[in-house]
Amino acid sequence: MANSNGWGDGAANNTIGWGKGATNAIGWGSVYAVSSAGRTDIIGASATAPVNTVAPVVTGTNFYVGDVLTTTNGTWSGSPTSFTYQWYNVSAGDNIIGATNNTYTLGSAFAGNEINCKVFGTNAVGTGQGNSNIIVTTGLFVPVNIFEPELSTEGANVGDTISIISNLWDGNPTPTLTYKWYRNGVHQNGHTGNTYLTASHDSGKYITVEVIGTNSQGSSSAFGINSCYVN
């Protein structure tokens, strides 16, 4: 007997494939093949797991310690419904523990290493992986003065403020700068900022500056290329 809904032991051509018929018209899955005695429906056969077709792209600025790297998701087939991320130390061949967002702030432990990001696209069927371009990060190095300190003026009156108008450094990590000011070559302990406020005891004297750059790798210093005479 052919049941219209195919619940019975029924005939070869049940209208809905819940029974045992050999050619059920409608399978139990969303997409199906012809059932064999109503026992084997293929669920979701036309859906596929995501596949990365255009690789994710990692961008950043200098790739120094503290710089933020950002990855795109790339382009995918299979209509991913969500993405997850894992930053990867290519040089060491290992995941960077805890780096699972689409951005990563470069730590000193990985300076000088090659890094990329693994992006995972997921849908109801499964998960695919896309690998970004590889970033070569900058290694650690001691601070280096690029442009020597230059004072804002070579002549000042008592009560004027002397500032530094040129003072460029490099280093990884980025150097912290400190300042020493000198009156006629004698270090003035009370002056530690990047400007110098002249006072009466500076009259008739020359003011100069020394800038010290410091990071985890060491320190170096640079003296100003000019001096300022205080009237």
Q: Collapse the DSSP code of 109 into the 3-class scheme (helix H, G, I; strand E, B; otherwise coil) and give the result.
A: helix
Q: Which tens digits make up the pLDDT trace of 189-198?
A: 999 999 999 9
Predicted pLDDT at 1: 47
Predicted TM-score (pTM) of the model is 0.74
Domains 51-136 and 141-230 share a fold: yes
Residues 140-163 pLDDT 10s: 999 999 999 999 999 999 999 999
Per domain, the residue ranges of the chain are: 1-46, 51-136, 141-230
Which pLDDT does position 25 carry in this prediction? 42
CATH topology of domain 141-230: Immunoglobulin-like (2.60.40)
Best CATH choice for the domain 51-136 from the list 1.10.240.10, 2.40.30.110, 2.60.40.2700, 3.10.129.10 = 2.60.40.2700
In the structure, what pLDDT confidence band is assigned to residue 61 with cuts at 50, 70 and 90?
confident
pLDDT over 50 (residue 56) = yes
